[in-house]
């Protein structure tokens, strides 16, 4: 009986650690989100538009996660903007990210009037997923397709070189 109780406590502890690890996913409309495309500081922002059902998006997620880890000692911020929608979307997203071991910050964009904001992200983006914006201050680069780790790294390194 005592052992069982201990086991139960242990499991409860494990569960609470697991829950503490899971990030809380915030839902924004585009107006609330827009400032993250215009920060004027010395951080390089890597912002990716994706969705759970988008195969190339999911394929490239680990590349973003690796960038986040490998550049953690530099001023680089990776933000993943999910366009998922439907029932229990934040729960599904949380579980998905846990399963894929993705710890980059994820924001849910819920703003169905897409024509009103796609052009504000970048004039060269026409709304097809996936898409990635990499910027530091006023210099930015946009990839309107699947991107690799090497391309991400090169783009970040170039930005850092240009800005220094």
Query: What residues make contact with other proteins under the rule CB under 8 A?
Result: 51, 53-56, 83, 85-86, 110, 112-116, 118-119, 126-130, 144-145
Q: Whose Cβ is closer to other proteins: residue 11's or residue 128's?
A: 128
Q: Is the dihedral of CA 72, 127, 122, 37 positive or negative?
A: negative
Closest approach of Cβ 143 to other proteins, in Å? 11
Q: Whose Cβ is closer to other proteins: residue 25's or residue 76's?
A: 25
Of the candidates 117, 160, 120, which has an alpha carbon nearest to the alpha carbon of residue 137? Answer: 160
Closest approach of Cβ 8 to other proteins, in Å? 40
Q: Whose Cβ is closer to other proteins: residue 56's or residue 62's?
A: 56
Q: Whose Cβ is closer to other proteins: residue 10's or residue 53's?
A: 53
> Residue 43 carries which DSSP code?
P
Closest approach of Cβ 3 to other proteins, in Å? 48
Residue with tokens 């783009």: 155
Closest approach of Cβ 70 to other proteins, in Å? 24
Q: How far apart are CA 61 and CA 44, in angstroms?
A: 18
CA angle, 58 then 128 then 121, to 5°: 100
Tokens of residue 110, six digits? 């819920």
């Amino acid at each position: 009986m005592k052992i069982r109780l201990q086991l139960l406590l242990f499991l409860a502890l494990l569960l609470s650690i697991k829950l503490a690890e899971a990030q809380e996913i915030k839902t924004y409309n585009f107006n609330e989100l827009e400032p993250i495309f215009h920060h004027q500081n010395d951080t390089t922002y890597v912002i990716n538009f994706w969705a759970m059902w988008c195969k190339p998006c999911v394929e490239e997620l680990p590349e973003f996660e690796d960038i986040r880890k490998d550049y953690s000692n530099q001023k680089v911020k990776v933000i993943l903007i999910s366009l998922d929608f439907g029932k229990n979307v934040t729960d599904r997203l949380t579980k998905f990210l846990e399963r894929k071991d993705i710890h980059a910050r994820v924001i849910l964009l819920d703003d169905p009037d897409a024509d009103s904001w796609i052009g504000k992200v970048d004039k060269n983006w026409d709304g097809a997923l996936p898409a990635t914006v990499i910027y530091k201050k006023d210099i930015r680069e946009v990839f309107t397709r699947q991107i690799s780790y090497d391309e991400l790294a090169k783009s970040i390194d170039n930005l850092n070189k240009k800005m220094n």
